[in-house]
Structure 1
């Protein structure tokens, strides 16, 4: 069955409803707030006011089941919502993670106690989470992680370090990966823990960076004691849960929509300068626009699979890499033809987009790792012995 590339009247009306909401609720100073980044105190504080309004309007988690605060709306509506939020600079801040993958993961794998504790605040727009995945010696290769969780009676004692942890400075809870088996157990020895960030022994340090204030951190876990009830799923079950979560995350950030809108602004600036009649510039603009459209359609293919009840497969890796390519195509176009506009003064949105494009190539599995997965899982190419 082919993919229908047209929107229904109902879907167009839904998109218009979201845009009307954004016009009403985003303040004139929103552009300045968004420049700080989703992990900043400024944008996080804004999300704590904005997301409850979204929830009240039925626009925060409409695709979730009704029993968990949603409205059982179609998958495509969830994605239309994501496109409009990202095109506007993502006013949900860090809470987009709750909507896209943390909440659905808990619904599928969480205990009754975990669901009752964590899902309702997410549905109301009142929860900030972070994910404790990467480590100094285990970035995209999560099987190499060393943070350990040792069983001690009814508790686990966790020791280790996480790095590049987005939103950790303001998060209430961490979706944490730790090793419960020996070093030789690989993926099979990993478990997931839901750890309150105010637990004794948790220390968070911000990492200065180009990508926004407060976006990334180091997290240190020193004799952090959590109850066994905080473990999500069984020991050794983490990898199947992570694959489910990451597949949702990789297509849950439609940055191509933001890239396409930034590209339109760049083209308009070039027209204002009388420079867009240059064929070389037109060709490069066309290439960047094509990259955005390719990312959109490849992502839609994955969304279509999900809408039909299927689980995201290796196509999610293809779409993820296409989004990174689109981001870089737009920022490279701007840097080549509008370099003065990246000073942060004339067009702060251009600089912010460039900074976020750096993140896009790293978050949810580095772009290079996606290429390896595409070669192995999508193209079925043989591994080359080193």
Structure 2
């Protein structure tokens, strides 16, 4: 195996890193910004990335991309995370909302949405989880009933990040209540200012606006807002959510926090404390494991394979890495790690969110077990 980067990839990383170093202050973290400030910053910075072709570089050239390799996509994600993820919600638009439109959108939908995403001029949220359908997404109950040239949508979505500032919602709704669980689901591209849609913030320990409730009460949407064929949303989602599971290089941010903790341990003469060194070593091993596992997924993508199972494995590994770094925070900081603004307090939020976003860790383990046991039986 060769773990060296190609000359082209190394040059891309150096150019990207130089740009980010020059544009962003040291220790920048976009997720500490107020939601509306974050949206404004994301749009302004997204425009700068778009000017250099770095907002949607993995997209086909026909849609404004650069046909970038999966390895350069990973480099982009690593450096963005290392610099405080200045794209914020844009990564969602870029990594899978846009690709979903490229995969299944009509000519009219592509013409209307893709250029706005390419320019960083729009914010999306995903209407997936519900009060009784979080990790078990296929059990969703939000319904879209055909009425002439429209659909009438009723239901509730919950934990919806960015909904309070989003322009559009990438919505899953059931269009055939009698179909099997993974069938009868359709995708709709719904403006968040649609009449009958109410968005309310859910207070949480996370940053302001992190969670929202979206209630659809007789929201009428044209059939032209449906993405792909009726009742055929699940295969599109399954194919595209691999991009979400590996779209953010969380292990890189966790590793940076760990490096700072190690330096703090040295400065405070804690590096010889066996509890501290044990926690630091376990966290380092967990971050390294997550890095190797995402490289496996990227390698499969580069070779044209569909890395469903390994994407689930990576997702579990990155959750464990985030939690191991939190344990290291508490070992180094002690009770100080409970104080707002400490490494421990900040890392707790990252670790908790990682174990929930894109499906809980338990759900990922169930999917791994299903695929492995199913393969063994066959």
Equivalents in 2 of 1:13, 1:278: separation in Å?
40
The aligned residue for residue 257 of structure 1 is 252
TM-superposition CA deviations, 1:151-171 (whole Å, max 9, x none): 000000000000000100000
CA distance in 2, matches of 1:6, 1:223: 55
Q: Does 1:273 align with 2:268?
A: yes
- Stretches of structure 1 that go unaligned for 5 or more consecutive residues are none
Deviations 1:295-329 (A, max 9, x none): 11111111111111122221111011111010111
Let me know the Cα RMSD of the aligned residues: 1.7
Match of 2:348 in 1: 354
Question: What is the TM-score of this pair, normalised by structure 2?
Answer: 0.95
Q: Which whole-Å CA distance do the structure 1 matches of 2:69 and 2:125 have between them?
A: 27
Give the distance between the partners of 2:68 and 2:98, measured in 1 at CA.
15
Q: CA separation of 1:34/1:365 partners in 2, compared to 1, >3 Å: closer, same or farther?
A: closer
Match of 1:343 in 2: 339
- Map Cα deviations across residues 71-90 of structure 1 (whole Å, 9 max, x no partner): 11211111100011112221
Per the TM alignment, residue 330 of structure 1 is displaced from its structure 2 partner at its CA by: 0.3
Q: Who is 2:15 aligned against?
A: 17
TM-score with structure 1 length normalisation?
A: 0.93
Q: Distance in 1 between matches of 2:114 and 2:275?
A: 51
Structure 2 alignment gaps of length 5 or more = none
* Equivalent residue for 2:32, pick from 32, 35, 43: 35
CA distance in 2, matches of 1:184, 1:59: 41
Match of 2:372 among 354, 359, 378: 378
Matches within 5 A, 1:1-386: 4-27=2-25, 30-31=28-29, 33-36=30-33, 40-182=35-177, 185-339=180-334, 340-345=336-341, 347=342, 350-380=344-374
SS of the equivalent of 2:135 reads coil
Find the aligned partners of 1:355 and 1:284 in 2 and give their Cα distance.
Answer: 19
- Aligned partners of 1:81 and 1:165: how far apart in 2? 25
Q: How many residues align?
A: 376
Task: Please say if residues 300 and 306 of structure 2, whose CA atoms lie closer than 8 Å, have aligned partners that are also in contact.
Answer: yes
CA 1:268/1:131 → structure 2, altered by over 3 Å: closer, same or farther?
Answer: same
